[in-house]
């Protein structure tokens, strides 16, 4: 993984300030800063908080559990999980600006004691062996060339019996994605594996597969509605706009085209570490 290029793609100054400004613009200057209120602005993936809710349902989180967020971005899902389920979340992200924004927003929501952010690589997670009851990763692995190591590290971090929920964009049969995309400006930092390769890599890492679902058709419907709003010019400001700035709309359109044209397949999976 070309770590500097990946971090440069995502990083910019003042992310937390822009998120809080967007919240105030949408909700009013005195709006409470809560994970639910922030959700449109800090869940940096295609279906926002809906996708996070699906991950939560898969993991069946219990109060007090220790949860690992691999590729935690600016921490929206981590805060939402901590507030909604009473869990303790450790987020690891490669991009320093994301980590700084996450810590600022953790403090703003009063969740600094329940969400810990660490700057580091998914290929060498800065966490102890067997430290977590559950883990998740949303739309991160497209930037990871060494996917086997990614899954091995997740396996190492989980206790025996721990579970991992994944939302991955996989390679489709119709060719490479359109660029720039939300996860990569060029093909140099985009690494899509096929669904079969994803399944094989998970098994090779030692996981047992509990669920493995192709949700591409559901994604197409969501993206059709997004495209209509983009075309009409009435798409509200969301996380991708705040984080990626002027590039965001072109990236969103290319992401939609990638799914529509069979160049990307959306997979959700739940796997478990034996024991």
pLDDT at site 5:
64
CA-wise closest residue to 272 among 212, 213, 216, 215: 212
Give phi and psi for 192, each to the nearest 5: -100, 135
pLDDT at site 36:
96
Domain range annotation of the chain: 3-272
pLDDT at site 2:
58
Q: Does residue 169 contact residue 265 with C-beta atoms inside 8 Å?
A: yes
Tokens of 249: 């709309």
User: Chunked in runs of 10, what are the mean pLDDT values of the chain (275 residues)?
Assistant: 58 85 92 95 84 94 98 97 98 95 97 98 98 97 96 98 97 96 91 98 98 92 80 73 80 91 96 97
Enter the pTM of the model: 0.92
Q: Does residue 242 contact residue 43 with C-beta atoms inside 8 Å?
A: no
pLDDT at site 218:
86
What are the residues facing 167 on neighbouring strands? Answer: 138, 268
Tell me yes or no: is domain 3-272 CATH 3.40.50.150: yes
């Amino acid at each position: 993984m070309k770590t500097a290029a990946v971090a440069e793609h995502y990083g910019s100054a003042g992310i937390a300030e822009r998120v809080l400004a967007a919240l105030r613009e949408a909700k009013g200057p005195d709006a409470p800063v809560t994970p639910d209120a922030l959700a449109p602005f800090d869940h940096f993936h295609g279906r926002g908080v809906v996708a996070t809710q699906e991950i939560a349902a898969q993991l069946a989180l219990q109060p007090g559990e220790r949860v690992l967020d691999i590729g935690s971005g600016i921490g929206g899902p981590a805060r939402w999980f901590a507030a909604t389920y009473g869990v303790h979340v450790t987020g690891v992200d490669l991009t320093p600006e994301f980590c700084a924004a996450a810590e600022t927003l953790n403090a703003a929501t009063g969740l600094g004691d329940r969400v810990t952010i660490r700057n580091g690589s998914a290929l060498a997670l800065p966490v102890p062996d067997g430290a977590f009851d559950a883990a998740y990763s949303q739309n991160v692995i497209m930037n990871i060339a060494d996917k086997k190591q990614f899954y091995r590290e997740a396996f190492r971090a989980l206790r025996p019996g721990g579970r991992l929920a994944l939302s991955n964009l996989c390679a489709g049969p119709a060719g490479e994605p359109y660029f720039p995309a939300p996860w990569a400006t060029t093909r140099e930092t985009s690494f899509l594996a096929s669904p079969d390769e994803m399944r094989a890599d998970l098994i090779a890492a030692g996981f047992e597969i509990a669920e493995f679902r192709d949700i591409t058709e559901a994604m197409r419907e969501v993206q059709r509605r997004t495209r209509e709003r983009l075309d009409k010019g009435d798409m509200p400001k969301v996380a991708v706009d705040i984080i990626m700035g002027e590039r965001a709309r072109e990236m969103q359109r290319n992401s939609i085209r990638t799914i529509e044209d069979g160049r990307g397949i959306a997979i959700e999976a739940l796997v478990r570490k034996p024991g």
